[in-house]
Chain A
Amino acid sequence: MSTLSGERSPSINRPLWRNLRKDKFLYLLMLPGLLYFLLFRYIPLMGTLVAFKDVAPFDNAATILSSQWVGLKHFSAFISSHYFWNIMKNTFALAGLRMVFEFFCPVLLALLINEVRNRYLKKTIQTISYMPYFLSNIVLAGLVFQLLTMNNGVIPAVVESLGGNPVYYLGDSRYFRTVLVSAIVWRNIGWGTIVYLAALSGIDPQLYEAARIDGANRFRQTIYITLPGISFAIAIMFILRISVILNQGWEETLLLYNPGVYSVADIIDTYVWRMGLEQMRYSFATAVGFFKSLLALALVLMSNYIARKSGQQSMYR
């Protein structure tokens, strides 16, 4: 994403209208997309104003604009709320766990799949590992419930047959995060390997040949050829991930959690959901959502910084 920083435009000295006319085809092409962003993203974004006002959910649009400003009242209410730190901790714990497992596991799995020599076996493993990705969140939650139910569920049965004492893992704050992250990883890991496998297939086989002649074993080849070969893909994926990491995982949480595990499950998005659409504290929920956006902004700026650093390196190597 080094491109985002932009480059000096060669046409900067020409008059504006001539630029516009010269590129009118490009602008025409972009028009529908730009219209979309204006009509469906920017206009609703004005709704964020209610975070600084006191608006009841039943007030109409006109009162949203005309009502009194209350400044940062809702923000300070959130920050001083009893569960603020708990929610922050859960939000970042989930994001962190997803980053670690959902981001690095695919790299590992791709490396392992890449080592398979038999073409058909490789293809079968790939095809099957992509399958879970196509399941919706609702189906995913359904499968989790079905596997974990204490009424003949597969996993409690397996735990019992291994001599363990099964509990209801979704209702137990010691296990909830493990279950949630496992389910998400199960669904996304296979799909996540695609980009790395593509990158792996792009590595020049002669490099391996040369290394082998130099006496490097498979492990050393992985360290010195394979990993550098896909580092660019890893960096790109990392950057893409981190900018949206706070927006992800809430629907799965919402479908799986229950009040007994709030202490480990409740994240900003589920909190916003309960406060906004269930308890109808609309201004407050918007303020909390806005607060999260500020955190996300910090992450994006950070990832852009990393991008510029890593982008430069790979460009000049």
Chain B
Amino acid sequence: MKKVLVLFTSLLLTFHVFSSGTQEVGETTATPKIVIYNNNGVISGAGGETASSPEILEEMKAWVLSETGIEVEVIAPVVGQESQKLNLLLASGTQVDAFWGNWPDFASRNMILPLNDLMAQYGSSIEAAWPEESFAAMSDTKGNLWGIPRTTPFMGNPLYVRADWAKEFGMDIPGTIDELEDYLAAVKKNKPDSIPLLAEMKGKHGSSGIFQTFAGAFTKYGASNWLDSDGKIKPQELQPGYRDFIIKMNEWYKAGYIYPEFASLNRNIIRDLIKSGKVAANATWYSNVTVPYATTEANNPGIDMEFPEGGLTGPMGKAETINPAGAEGMLISAKCEHPEAVIKVMEFFYSNPANHQVAYMGPENNLWRWTDKSKLQFEILKDRTGYLGDYAFAMGLPMERAVSTDSPQMAKHFGYLGVGTVGSGVTPDGLDYSRGKMPVDAGVVYDPQIIEKEIPGYADIQRMREEEVIKFIMGARPVSEWDAFIDELYSIGLNDWIESYTRMYKSQR
């Protein structure tokens, strides 16, 4: 026995290396098979690699097949490495028919298909579901539509404060930066163990956290590129008043208001902090407050987190910057052999919110059930285990708002989104654009290939903007050096940046 062990090992190894090369078998069946990399956020939110149960996945696949005649295979993303894995799949020519991404990144490299004809032919419900702005953001100047939208303009960074504490201190919910400062001071004094202000650098859907919440209070354009009077597009750091904004943030940081980990927070930590009830003011993405609110309430009886009516204001007006409809959407690979099948599947989910509901929460009566199917009302039966929403391709406000539940646990979140109010004429808080500033170049697309060609120092500029601003806020670099910082930006090619961005802006406006 022992004698052959090594030989056996050698043979086994050799066998596997060579035999495996022949595994790919060309299928020539009538049913089109499509593969979708589901990186639209639904799975990463739930923990991608942790797996839905294979039985439920089979059931979902069979359901989609029986309803649409199309076999849909889903690849779940790697949490934290969603785009890296996508790049590998695409670079290696693995079959991936559809995925989510910023269309300019892919369109300029001929990696994706324009969808105008397909949508006209098969996608009427999809077209009806999304607002004009969303489609505009997914289209180029020539009118090519490059993907199915994922976002609408949204108030993603309302400043939530603890109204119960404000009341305790004899204050109203702070509506201005000065009132907020008083509130934070009172928190610091009266609640020594709390976190006065929780802020982040980057949030969901490209939001920019602390900047998105406060920059507009001190600057005309807020957390947006700046249109200077000379007609040029410049980065936000150059706009008048931005230095004052940084000075204020630095003051707050020094005073111990801003949670010191702000530059390295992730959603998980943020939500734990909020659930603990320690957070007196939240300047991170809204859903960190609204989604776990039931737990927060259970942990902290009497807690009441609210944002100021009409939005926070400062010397330069509205503090919050609206998250514009982005270039992020579902894209169809140029190598896709059945693009019409992808659109048909999407149309199936968009045509009836009940279909999306099953895709999102799994087979009916398993984890949830309808309480009134005609009104699209459901209730949750048990915790989500075994299905993570792998087939939920129609993510986004239109579908998420279409169904509703009376579960009190969801009230805060669904209230902000206006779930169940579709068609009632009520504007939900999340879509109340009067509370903030719209970025001046919302909908303008900055082509990454042009950027790479025209701005050789682009990566350095982006890094310097991010890194140095953090240092200014933390006081690791004195704000007196702000002008020197701007000069440094120019020295590594900011002029290229401004010229290139301005050209792209002007060609689209």
Residues of A within 8 A of B (CB): 28-29, 31-32, 35-36, 39, 56-61, 77, 81-83, 149-151, 167-168, 170-173, 258-260, 262-263, 275, 277-282
B: contact size bracket: 35 or more
A60 vs B463: C-alpha distance in the bound complex, in angstroms? 30
Is B385's CB within 8 Å of the partner chain A? no
B480 within 8 A of A: no
Please tell me which stretch of B9-17, B140-148, B284-292 contacts chain A, meaning at least 4 of its Cβ atoms lie within 8 angstroms of it. B9-17
> Which A residues touch B464, using CB under 8 A?
82
Instruction: List residues of chain A with CB within 8 A of the CB of B84.
Output: 277-278
A29 touches B6 (CB 8 A): yes
Name B's A-contacting residues (CB within 8 A): 6-7, 9-10, 13-14, 17, 81, 83-84, 87, 90-91, 93, 105-106, 109, 111, 195, 201, 259-264, 269, 273, 276, 278, 452, 456-457, 459-460, 463-464, 466-467, 470-471, 474, 476, 492
- Counting chain A CB atoms within 10 Å of each CB, which of B84, B452, B459, B474 scores highest? B459
Whether the Cβ atoms of A258 and B263 lie closer than 8 Å is yes
A262 CB contact (under 8 Å) in B261, B269, B467: B467
- Beyond the given A61-B93, A281-B459, please list 19 additional residue pairs across the A-B interface where CB-CB is below 8 A: A29-B10, A31-B10, A35-B14, A39-B17, A57-B90, A58-B90, A77-B456, A81-B459, A149-B269, A151-B195, A151-B273, A172-B474, A173-B476, A259-B463, A259-B466, A260-B474, A262-B467, A277-B83, A282-B91
- Neighbouring B residues of A171 by C-beta, 8 Å: 260-264, 474
Most interface-central of A172, A277, A278 (chain B CB within 10 A): A277
- The reply to whether A259 and B470 contact each other, CB–CB distance below 8 Å, is yes
The smallest beta-carbon distance between A70 and chain B, in angstroms, is 13
Contacts of B90 in A (CB 8 A): 57-58
Contact in complex: A280, B263 (CB < 8 Å) = no
Of B81, B261, B466, the contact of A149 (CB 8 Å cutoff): B261
Q: A29-B10, A260-B471, A262-B467 are in contact. Are A170 and B264 (CB under 8 A)?
A: yes
Are B259 and A150 touching (Cβ within 8 A)? yes
Would you list 13 pairs from A and B whose C-beta atoms are within 8 A, ordered by A residue? A31-B10, A32-B13, A32-B14, A36-B13, A149-B261, A151-B195, A259-B466, A260-B470, A260-B476, A262-B463, A263-B467, A277-B81, A281-B459
A58→B334 CA distance, assembly (Å)? 11
Q: How far is the CA of A259 from the CA of B210 in the complex (A)?
A: 15
In the complex formed, the residue of A with least CB distance to B10 is: A32
Give the docked Cα–Cα distance between A72 and B91 (Å): 23
The residue on B at minimum CB distance from A145 is: B269
Residues of chain A lying within 8 A (CB to CB) of residue B456: 77
Are B260 and A58 in touch, CB under 8 angstroms? no
Collect the chain B residues with CB atoms within 8 Å of residue A28's CB.
7, 10
Q: Which chain A positions have C-beta within 8 A of B264? A: 170-171, 258, 260
> Shortest Cβ distance from A87 into chain B, in angstroms?
11
Quick check: B111 and A168 within 8 Å, CB to CB? no
Compute how far the CA of A168 lies from the CA of B452 in the bound complex, rounded to whole angstroms.
Answer: 36
Q: Is A31's CB under 8 angstroms from B14's CB?
A: yes
CB distance from B280 to the nearest CB of A (A): 14
Q: For B269, list chain A residues within 8 Å (CB).
A: 149
Q: A168, B13: Cβ atoms under 8 Å?
A: no
Assembly CA distance A186 to B195 (angstroms)? 31
The interface residues of chain B lying within 8 Å CB-to-CB of A82 are 457, 460, 464, 492
* Distance of A77 Cα from B492 Cα, bound (Å): 13
Q: Which residues of A contact B278 (CB under 8 A)?
A: 151
Contact between B14 and A168, CB atoms less than 8 A apart:
no
Known: A149-B261, A171-B260, A260-B467. A60 touches B93 (CB 8 A): yes
Instruction: Given A171-B263, A263-B467, A277-B84, check contact A58 B474 (CB 8 Å).
Output: no
Q: Considering the chains assembled together, what is the distance between the CA atoms of A280 and B85 in angstroms?
A: 12
* The 7 nearest A-B residue pairs measured at CB: A258-B264, A168-B260, A260-B470, A260-B263, A277-B84, A82-B460, A32-B13
Q: How far is the CB of B68 from chain A (nearest CB, A)?
A: 28
Distance, CA A268 to CA B255, complexed state (A): 36
| Bound CA–CA A59/B110 (angstroms) | 10
